[in-house]
Structure 1
């Protein structure tokens, strides 16, 4: 079981001294959302970066940041002489048109974007793409290792909460197990209050008791709750993403315990049902962190 929260860092050396540095972080989210930040000269690697993220993560909001350390290698400065010449020509024409004398300051024009540039790494250089992938994979591997550790902590918390829920259900079961006797007692008390004579073995009373007992029977709900406990524990041992399955199972838990509470109607059951739902809600909040 994996958490959706994690962090990982990786790096790979290229050409002896140049290096890619990758960092991956993530938080919980229902779907997979990948945000990627790369140096502009390596934007062509974004497609591969998304593919790599998809191999390691199926759900969550993932942020990948990759930087490139040139290792102090000298950068070749390039000048777009054609663009610079055009700018000089236009400036001279404008100065002439408005009656200004003097020359154009070329150093000022060299600040115009696009005139001066640095050498751009060749994306096709042997080993460059492999180094990029190595750094990203290393970051994603460490990211997954952290999510596994977080998942183990969540698993322990879930086991404790399941034990609490099972304890509450064990308290509920005997209270609803003798539902027929409870209904019979309440009916006799109501009849006595109305001064209506009736014996404990009266056929009419027994029919009423059976009718209401059948409507109040919660055997199926209790059986399904036990089944849900077993299924949830199986999810805890899964290595594949189970967050969505757990979330669905929580809905089934809520449905069964709500039906049980409504059908039982016993005063002693109500506070236990409320406590059960409260613990379920805490469990459901934690499940939002599971991939």
Structure 2
């Protein structure tokens, strides 16, 4: 979910620049920094980003610069002509001295700065800003998609590791009922001199232990989670939160497998599963 993009627009003396930076976040966190007088654009910019992005901490910086000539003073000939015509009409009706030039220049509209002369209306400015933000957003999404393709390969590799460990756990000999019964005999012999125990009682206890140690349900769910995760990655789109949920379910099954393990080797497989799942979950945080 990381990326950086910049877009610029030029209109007369005005130069607009939008910068977007994205870093990882569990949800969508929008932080906007707008130049002076641009606060009214915050809501439409937030709406634009929210429609296009689902996850990540997004920083938007909007700056509006005007060239040095934008502040130059110039005479508005049309306004001046109107003022002089009005003065001539007044002097036809009332005898009065001509006004001083600085007085005429002080009248509203006679003098204007370059900024006022090149000013655009609010709607035009909003559309210009949004168009510039859209361009920056397209570039940011392209950068995030490229990163996502690389992360997808890493996620699939972790899923392959988890799938291999599931196969190893399922094939482990400690899950065999005959093995459990033999181990039970050894434990009984170690506890008492007379290792004799009715065969039916021994079989009953072995069956009980095998039932408690049965991890088939956990293995089946792990396989289902692997298939679901692979499908999400293949489908693409904003799947980060669903993958994060699946990673939690992976971890839950691995914990149960470790708790049920009746052999050191099977416990080791469970711990390797937890390590692979942790690596998967760390990478999922980078997915939108």
- TM-score, with structure 1 as normaliser: 0.78
Report Cα offsets for 1:119-140 as digits up to 9, x if no partner: 5775625632221111100001
Q: 2:182 aligns with which of 160, 185, 188?
A: 185
User: In the aligned structure 2, how far is the partner of 1:25 from the partner of 1:175?
Assistant: 49
Contact residue 176 and residue 264 of structure 1 kept, 8 A: no
Which runs of structure 2 are paired with 1:1-291 in the superposition (5 Å)?
4-15=1-12, 18-76=14-72, 119=115, 122=119, 124=121, 127-175=124-172, 178-193=175-190, 194-198=192-196, 202-291=199-288
User: In the aligned structure 2, how far is the partner of 1:29 from the partner of 1:126?
Assistant: 33
* 1:72, distance to aligned residue in structure 2 (A): 4.4
Contact residue 13 and residue 131 of structure 1 kept, 8 A: no
Contact residue 175 and residue 214 of structure 2 kept, 8 A: no
For residue 71 of structure 2, give the secondary structure of its aligned residue in structure 1.
Answer: coil
User: In the aligned structure 1, how far is the partner of 2:24 from the partner of 2:39?
Assistant: 26
For residue 129 of structure 2, give the secondary structure of its aligned residue in structure 1.
Answer: helix
Change (3 A) 1:12 1:75: same
For residue 263 of structure 2, give the secondary structure of its aligned residue in structure 1.
Answer: coil
Whose radius of gyration is greater, 1 or 2?
2
CA RMSD of aligned residues (A): 2.4
Change (3 A) 1:70 1:272: same
Give aligned pairs, total: 248
User: In the aligned structure 1, how far is the partner of 2:43 from the partner of 2:277?
Assistant: 41
Structure 2's unaligned 5+ residue stretches are 74-112
Name whichever of 130-139 and 264-273 sits farther off. 264-273
Which one has the bigger helix percentage?
Answer: 2
For residue 241 of structure 1, give the secondary structure of its aligned residue in structure 2.
Answer: coil
Contact residue 6 and residue 25 of structure 1 kept, 8 A: yes
Report Cα offsets for 1:90-123 as digits up to 9, x if no partner: xxxxxxxxxxxxxxxxxxxxxxxxxxx9957756
Structure 1's unaligned 5+ residue stretches are 78-116
Aligned to 1:100: none
Report Cα offsets for 1:207-264 as digits up to 9, x if no partner: 1111111111111011000001001101112333111111111111111111112112
* 1:70, distance to aligned residue in structure 2 (A): 2.5
For residue 25 of structure 2, give the secondary structure of its aligned residue in structure 1.
Answer: coil
